[in-house]
């Protein structure tokens, strides 16, 4: 059963989980769905819309999928310890591995979008990309560039309008 919640009702939990271990970003292009662990992101309000901003590196398999799909979902567990699954989805590529199968996750049809959420999680956001911005390396402070981008594998920032936010049991 799904219960709609305000996009910001669990924003503290979302930020805390991103900072402490991550969340699951799912993207689906046609029949191929992939899960990626994200540890950086932001939830807020822009352009009169509830927003979830996520970052995806060019080198990630998810990058090609999100470029085509222009939508994504984010699933988090407020009650289960999914650290092992977060590690798998963060370290393994969807090019080589079906992460739903490997993590024993069940794709649950999205409420509003064609991209599924993860049934084993209980907090979900469905987002439609309304703006994206490639990082401009020259505008990033040296400290962050040296710490996070020594290999020059920069991110694209995807601003997703939150179309649906809900909890499941």
Query: How many helices (H) and strands (E) would you count in the chain?
Result: 5, 10
Report whether 117 contacts 123 (CB < 8 A): no
Parallel/antiparallel/unpaired status of strands 49-57 and 41-46: antiparallel
Q: What is the pLDDT of residues 110-144, one digit of tens each?
A: 999 999 999 999 999 999 999 999 999 999 999 99
Predicted confidence at residue 41, as pLDDT, reads 94
Distance between CA atoms of 166 and 109, rounded to whole angstroms? 13
Would you list the domain boundaries of the chain?
Answer: 2-168
Predicted confidence at residue 32, as pLDDT, reads 87
Q: What is the pLDDT of residues 62-90, one digit of tens each?
A: 999 999 999 999 999 998 889 999 999 99
CA nearest to 52, candidates 169, 168, 164: 164
The CATH superfamily holding the domain 2-168 is: Electron Transport, Fmn-binding Protein; Chain A (2.30.110.10)
């Amino acid at each position: 059963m799904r219960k709609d919640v305000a996009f910001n009702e669990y924003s503290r939990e979302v930020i805390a989980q991103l900072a402490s271990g991550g969340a699951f970003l799912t993207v689906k292009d046609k029949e191929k769905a992939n899960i990626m662990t994200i540890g950086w992101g932001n939830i807020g309000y822009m352009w009169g819309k509830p927003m979830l901003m996520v970052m995806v590196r060019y080198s990630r398999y998810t990058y090609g999928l999100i470029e085509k799909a222009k939508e994504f979902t984010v699933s988090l567990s407020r009650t289960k310890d999914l650290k092992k699954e977060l590690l798998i989805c963060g370290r393994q590529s969807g090019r080589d591995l079906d992460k739903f199968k490997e993590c024993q996750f069940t794709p649950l049809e999205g409420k509003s979008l064609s991209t599924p959420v993860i049934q084993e999680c209980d907090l979900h956001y469905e987002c439609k990309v309304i703006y994206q911005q490639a990082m401009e390396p020259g505008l990033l402070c040296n400290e962050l560039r040296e710490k996070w981008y020594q290999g020059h594998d920069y991110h694209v920032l995807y601003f997703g309008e939150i179309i649906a936010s809900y909890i499941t049991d």
